[in-house]
Chains A and B, each alone.
Chain A
Amino acid sequence: MDVGIGEYLALCSILFGIGAIGFLTRRNMLIQLMTIEIMLNSVVFMLLAFNRVHTGSQAGQVFGFFVIAVAAAEAAVGLAILISYFRIKNSVETDKADLLKH
């Protein structure tokens, strides 16, 4: 028996869910960056899995490449913002971001 699209879809949804729940429950920005990466990776995986079904073109694979590249750029910007936040707050806990409340 072969692993079908259903199993892939389930795996990706679980991964995405882990990332989303992690993002919403953790308050450490570094961890939150990682959870976003998990979510993006689940998307890449899903695109590749769907490409096995839609064999007409390689659109899913190409999309996957772009997601990987953009995720790297996003991580770079995120780390830069994280560093300037750490320099000011001496912490990476996002709970401490409370200046902008009215």
Chain B
Amino acid sequence: MMELLPVASLLMLVSAGLAIMLLDVFTKGRAELPFVTTIALLAAAAISAAALFAPAPTDVPAFITDYLSVDKYGLFFDVVIALGAALASLLAGGYLREHGLERGEYYVLILFSALGAMVMARAVDLLTLFVGLETLSLGVYSLVGYRRTSARATEAAVKYFLLGSFASAIFLFGAALIYGATGHTGFRSIGEVIAAGHAPVMLVLLGLAMLVAGLGFKVSAVPFHMWTPDAYEGAPTSTTAFMSVVVKSAAFAVFLRLLAVGFGDELSRGAGGWPALLTILAAVTMVYGNLAAVAQSSVKRMLAYSSIAHAGYLLLGLAAVGTKPAEATSAVLYYLAAYTVSNALVLGALIWSGSHGKEATSYADLAGLGRRHPAVGAAFLVGVLSLMGFPPTAGFFGKWYVFSAAVQADMVGMTILAVLSSAVGAFYYLKVLVYLYMKSPEEGAPVAVPMKSSYVVFALVLAAYFVMKMGLTPARYLDAALAAASGLIG
């Protein structure tokens, strides 16, 4: 049994998910499921955090390491994903109950989706990558369409599902081409065969392009982003939080690993290889995301476009992995951790702002809220400043590390573009604060009243703690990210 210890966090989530399914049906929905789910996720995070600082396990059987890595890179993402999912389940605990949507399935889906995300982040084989990706995606499709009597939620689920399965099919075709070209599905063996020059170049490049398209969909890179605003807006807000933090982290984790390990050779990186492709994607994504976010009147939709913009910065970091592996990888890891807590904080504050009968979704709903309810305002303030990249928050150092990695990789022009477009971002982030503190609600308009939920408050405190902690002592977290990156780069 000891040989299963390196995957203990995954087993934890499987058993917790199954236990909650049984608990839900046998207690007829009376069990305190958000609590149990959060404990299970935090326990998984703690197991992986402990393993992150322990010496690397030896003698792990090949039937695990052939498919799932047990390196620090995977453990780092275990912690980020489990923490993000725990925040989402806490937010769901408040949100679903307040709006009369509480059903046990939600928490089961959160646990299994988080499991899929962890499998993805640890995948070292196209097969496990695919299984993890689908476990995550199928769970999230259902979480988006969870409010099935709502036309908007169902439409969002239809769009997300159709485009998502289309992207999965393209990803799979790419995976099959890579298998055909190299004869392997393991990332490392694929990399070895390509580096040795034994694979047909056209087949490899075509397969790689399709893999990038499939994963680009999951990280919502332009032009594969069409689903993002609709799915973010139509989904229950706690699902939006889950998607924006867990799906994004897992997809970027495996994206980076696949490129660095499977396609880290000269051929795939050279002229026309993936760094060039990702640079173009990054440029389009960050510019489009920031410009489109300005025009939004719904805060949820604005956050969707902002998440596209953040994907752009992260893609820039990914492109830099080709030339500066250690710096760029650790920067991307730090950025994802920072983005996870910041975005959970902002969406949590948005959930907190509404209560039964009146959800807060648009800017107008937030008018004057910061003056009437200072605590809600403070949560928004910290989160929004971090997303904007204002020191001394987590988001500032995230951007700082990614941009400096890009500069070291000789992508000065791209970095200037990134800085300029994040200046555009300041406009719509500050708009939130303007509405919170300087506007008043219109006469006769329904006013959003913050809900009372200890789950939501706990989630916000947890998220705000990490946002500030990562901003005030960034070196500690960057060291953890560097250690994780070294597990990948070797």
Q: Which residues of A contact B151 (CB under 8 A)?
A: 88-89, 99
What separation, in Å, do the CA atoms of A62 and B156 have in the docked complex? 34
A selection of 8 A-B contacts at a CB cut-off of 8 Å is: A5-B180, A40-B169, A50-B183, A53-B183, A56-B183, A63-B126, A88-B149, A94-B162
Decide if B159 touches A39 in the complex (CB within 8 Å).
no
With a cutoff of 8 Å between Cβ atoms, the chain B residues found around residue A85 in the complex are: 154-155, 157-158
Chain A residues contacting B301 (CB-CB under 8 Å) are: 102
A-contacting residues of B (Cβ < 8 Å)?
Answer: 126-127, 130-131, 134, 138, 141-142, 145, 148-149, 151-152, 154-159, 161-162, 165-166, 168-170, 172-173, 175-177, 179-180, 183-185, 229-230, 233-234, 295-298, 301
- Indicate which residue in A19, A49, A59, A89 contacts B169 across the interface (CB closer than 8 Å): A19
In angstroms, Cα B154 to Cα A80, docked, is 10
Q: Are B180 and A46 in contact (CB under 8 A)?
A: yes
Known: A46-B173, A50-B176. A94 touches B166 (CB 8 A): no
Complex-state Cα separation, A70 to B274, whole angstroms: 28
- Inter-subunit contact B165/A66 (CB<8 Å): no
Residue interface bits A63-102, CB-to-B below 8 A is 1, else 0: 1001100100110011011101101110000100111101
- B158 with A97: CB separation less than 8 A: yes
Contact across chains for B180 and A84 when beta carbons are under 8 A apart: no
Sorted from nearest, which 4 A-B pairs have the closest CB atoms?
A54-B183, A50-B180, A39-B169, A84-B148
Known contacts A16-B173, A60-B179, A63-B127, A88 near B230 by CB under 8 Å: no
CB–CB A73/B183 < 8 A: no
B149 neighbours in A (Cβ, 8 Å): 88
Q: B138 contacts which chain A residues (CB < 8 A)?
A: 73-74, 77
User: Which residues of chain A are near B142, meaning CB under 8 Å?
Assistant: 77, 80-81
Question: A66–B125 Cα gap in the complex (Å)?
Answer: 13
Query: Is B166 in contact with A100, judged by CB distance below 8 angstroms?
Result: no
Nearest CB of chain B from residue A45's CB, rounded to whole Å? 9
* B166 closest partner in A (C-beta): A23
Chain A interface SS verdict (over half): helix
Chain A interface residue count, Cβ-Cβ cutoff 8 angstroms:
46
Q: Which residues of B sit under 8 angstroms from A36, Cβ to Cβ? A: 162, 165-166, 169
Cβ–Cβ < 8 Å partners of A67 in chain B: 130, 172
Q: A59-B185, A74-B138 are in contact. List 9 more A-B contacts (CB 8 A).
A: A5-B180, A29-B158, A36-B166, A74-B168, A81-B145, A81-B157, A100-B230, A100-B233, A102-B297
Asked whether A100 and B126 contact (CB < 8 A) given A50-B179, A56-B183, A77-B142, the answer is: no
**Candidates A66, A74, A88; contact of B131 at CB < 8 Å:** A66
Contact among A5, A20, A73, A81 for B161, CB-based, below 8 A:
A81
- Give Cα A88 to B157, complex, Å: 13
Q: B181: nearest residue on chain A (CB-CB)?
A: A50
Closest chain B residue to A47 by CB distance?
Answer: B176
- Collect the chain A residues with CB atoms within 8 Å of residue B165's CB: 36, 74, 78
Which residue from chain B places its CB closest to the CB of A63 in the assembled complex?
B127
Across-interface contacts of A16 in B (CB, < 8 A): 169, 173
Residue from the list B162, B172, B180, B230 in contact with A40, Cβ < 8 A: B172
Q: Which of A40, A82, A102 has the most CB of B within 10 A?
A: A102
> Within the complex, what minimum Cβ distance (angstroms) separates A13 from chain B?
9
Residues of A within 8 Å of B166, CB to CB, are 20, 23, 36, 39
Task: Report how far A28 CA is from B166 CA in the complex, Å.
Answer: 15
Chain B's nearest CB lies how many Å from the CB of A86?
9
B155→A97 contact, CB < 8 A: yes
The answer for the CA separation of A70 and B128 in the assembled complex, in Å, is 12
A residues within 8 A CB of B131?
66, 70
Chain B residues, CB < 8 A from A62:
127
Check A43/B179 contact, CB under 8 A, given A63-B127, A70-B130. no
Across the interface, which residues of B come within 8 angstroms of A47, CB to CB? Answer: 176, 179
Asked if A66 and B127 sit within 8 Å, CB to CB, the answer is: yes
Residues of A near B179 (CB, < 8 A) are: 47, 50, 54, 59-60, 63
A98 to B156, CA, bound (A): 10
Q: Once the chains bind, are A100 and B152 in contact (CB under 8 Å)?
A: yes
Bound-state CA distance A29–B166 (Å) is 12
Chain B nearest CB, measured from A93 CB (Å): 11
Once the chains bind, are A88 and B127 in contact (CB under 8 Å)?
no
Closest A residue, CB atoms, query B152: A99
Q: Nearest chain B CB to A23's CB is how many angstroms away?
A: 6
Interface residues of A in 30-59 (CB under 8 A from B): 32, 36, 39-40, 42-43, 46-47, 49-50, 53-54, 56, 59
Residues of B within 8 A of A59 (CB): 127, 179, 184-185
Q: Select from chain A the residue with minimum beta-carbon distance to B180.
A: A50
Q: Kindly state the separation between the CA atoms of A97 and B297 in the bound complex, as whole angstroms.
A: 20
Most buried by B among A32, A49, A77: A77
Given the complex, which residues of B lie within 8 Å of A89, measured CB to CB?
Answer: 151
Decide if B161 touches A102 in the complex (CB within 8 Å): no
- Residues of B within 8 Å of A56, CB to CB, are 183
CA distance in complex: A50, B185 (Å): 12
Bound CA–CA A36/B134 (angstroms): 14
Query: B127 contacts A42, CB within 8 Å?
Result: no
Q: Which residues of B contact A70 (CB under 8 A)?
A: 130-131, 134
Inter-chain CA distance A40–B173, complex, in Å, is: 8
Is B141 a contact of A77 with CB atoms below 8 Å? Answer: yes
